[in-house]
Amino acid sequence: MKNFGFYLILLFLISCGYSPIYENNPASNFKINSITISGDKKIARNLTNGIERFKKSKSTNAFDLDLVITKRNDIITKDKKGNASSYNLIIQIDINLEDQINAKNIKRKFIKVSTYNSMDNKFELNQYKSDLEKNMTSQILQDIIVFFENIENDL
């Protein structure tokens, strides 16, 4: 009886139909031919690693991708001595998809904004800023993948 319960649970887990959301879809009807990037290279590397799966598609709907990446770190407030006490980190990515065959042009802008306070230890501040930038970039990458999936469904 004990083995029967184990096999029953195993059967339900195997046949539940689970598949990852961002799994490579071989039947994709959307493809990226080339990627042109201008702006911050560190953010660009993270984005292109996530977008690579759209380059491997064998679709006839091929687009050229142009990314313009803008990163700003603004001072919001200062203390009595004039030292910065809080900052605003803004990452903006402008996407331009061009289809040379059908003369389609799709533009979209992704913006993430985060506010953080200054720290006494500048090494920890730089580390925190770097982690914050990575998290914001991964959030934007998820938004871009959802945007590409929507375009893929509209084609």
Domains of the chain (ranges plus CATH)?
A: 28-154 (3.30.160.150)
What confidence tens digit (pLDDT) does each residue in 80-124 have?
998 999 999 999 999 998 886 777 888 999 999 999 999 999 999
Please check the confidence at residue 134 and state whether its pLDDT lies above 50. Answer: yes
How far is residue 132 from each of residues 72, 86, 95, 105, measured CA to CA in Å? 13, 14, 22, 32
Which residues does 31 contact at the CB level (< 8 Å), separation at least 6? 54, 55, 57, 58, 59, 60, 61, 62, 63
Rg of the Cα trace of the chain?
Answer: 22
Task: State percent of the chain over pLDDT 70.
Answer: 82
| Residue 26 pLDDT | 47
What confidence tens digit (pLDDT) does each residue in 6-23 have?
777 766 766 666 555 555
pTM recorded for the entire structure: 0.76
Host H or E run for residue 69: strand 62-78
Stronger pLDDT, 18 or 39, i.e. the higher one: 39
